C-alpha cells in the first residue's frame, strides 16, 4: 500500500449503518465442490433472511467471474487472487452493513484463512457444503465434470486439482442426508443471534 494514501474520515460509521438496518453485518462463506449445492442453499438462506427484513447480497461465480474477476483463469495463483478480491469486496459490503453470502469452491485452506483475516473472525461464518465427489459428478449441473474427465477442462477441483476440506467449519451441511430447506433453516437459526443488535 502506498505510504501516501491517507484514509478520509467519514462521519457515517459501520455501526451507524447497522443501526439503520437494525441488524449486524457479516459474511457467510459457502465452500464445497462444484455441484455440491452451495449456490442453491445460499439462495434459500438469502430468501429466508430477506423475509426477516435482513439486508443481504449474494456473491457467486456468475456475478464475480463475469465482472470484477473476468481477467482471471482457474490456475492456483488466479484462484487465490479471485478469493482475495472477493474477500475485499465482501469486507466493503460488511462495512456497508449488509449480510453477505458468498458461494465459491474456494479449495485452499490458506485462501479461506485469508478471507477471515480480511473481514475479521467475528464477521466470518464458514459453511462447508460437504457433498461427495461421486454425488457432485452424478448431479453435474453444469456439465463440468464430464468435460474435466474428457480433458477439456484443466485444474478442475476434485478431478485434476485438490480440494482442502475445512477442518473446523462453523457449520457442516451434508446434502446427501439433509434437505435444502432444513439446511437453510439451520444456517438461519445459527446466524440470527450473531446479527442481532444489542439493545
Measured at the alpha carbon of residue 51, what is the angle toward residues 50 and 53, in degrees to the nearest 5? 65
The CA–CA distances, whole Å, from 118 to 110, 139, 157, 160 equal: 12, 34, 24, 29
Measured at the alpha carbon of residue 106, what is the angle toward residues 49 and 65, in degrees to the nearest 5? 80
Half-sphere exposure for 198 (CA within 13 Å, toward CB):
1
For cell 449503518, what's the residue? 17
Cell of 67: 465482472
DSSP state of 99: E
Report how far residue 57's alpha carbon sits from residue 25's, in angstroms, rounded to the nearest whole number. Answer: 11
Angle subtended by helix axes 109-119 and 76-95, to nearest 10: 20
Catalytic amino acids? 106
Report how far residue 30's alpha carbon sits from residue 38's, in angstroms, rounded to the nearest whole number. Answer: 6
Amino acid at each position: 500500500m502506498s505510504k501516501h494514501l491517507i484514509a478520509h474520515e467519514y462521519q457515517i460509521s459501520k455501526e451507524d449503518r447497522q443501526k439503520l438496518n437494525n441488524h449486524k453485518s457479516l459474511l457467510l462463506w459457502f465452500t464445497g465442490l462444484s455441484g455440491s449445492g452451495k449456490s442453491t442453499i445460499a439462495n434459500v438462506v438469502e430468501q429466508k433472511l430477506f423475509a426477516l427484513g435482513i439486508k443481504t447480497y449474494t456473491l457467486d461465480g456468475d456475478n464475480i467471474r463475469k465482472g470484477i474477476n473476468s481477467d482471471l483463469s482457474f490456475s492456483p495463483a488466479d484462484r487465490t487472487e479471485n478469493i482475495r478480491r472477493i474477500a475485499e469486496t465482501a469486507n466493503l459490503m460488511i462495512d456497508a452493513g449488509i449480510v453477505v453470502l458468498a458461494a465459491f469452491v474456494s479449495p485452499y485452506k490458506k485462501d479461506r484463512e485469508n478471507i477471515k483475516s480480511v473481514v475479521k473472525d467475528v464477521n466470518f461464518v464458514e459453511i462447508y457444503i460437504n457433498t461427495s465427489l461421486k454425488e457432485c459428478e452424478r448431479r453435474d449441473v453444469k456439465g463440468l465434470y464430464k468435460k474435466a474427465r474428457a480433458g477439456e477442462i484443466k485444474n478442475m477441483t476434485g478431478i485434476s486439482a485438490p480440494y482442502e476440506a475445512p477442518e473446523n467449519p462453523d457449520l457442516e451441511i451434508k446434502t446427501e442426508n439433509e434437505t435444502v430447506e432444513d439446511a437453510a433453516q439451520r444456517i438461519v437459526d445459527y446466524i440470527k443471534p450473531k446479527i442481532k443488535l444489542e439493545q
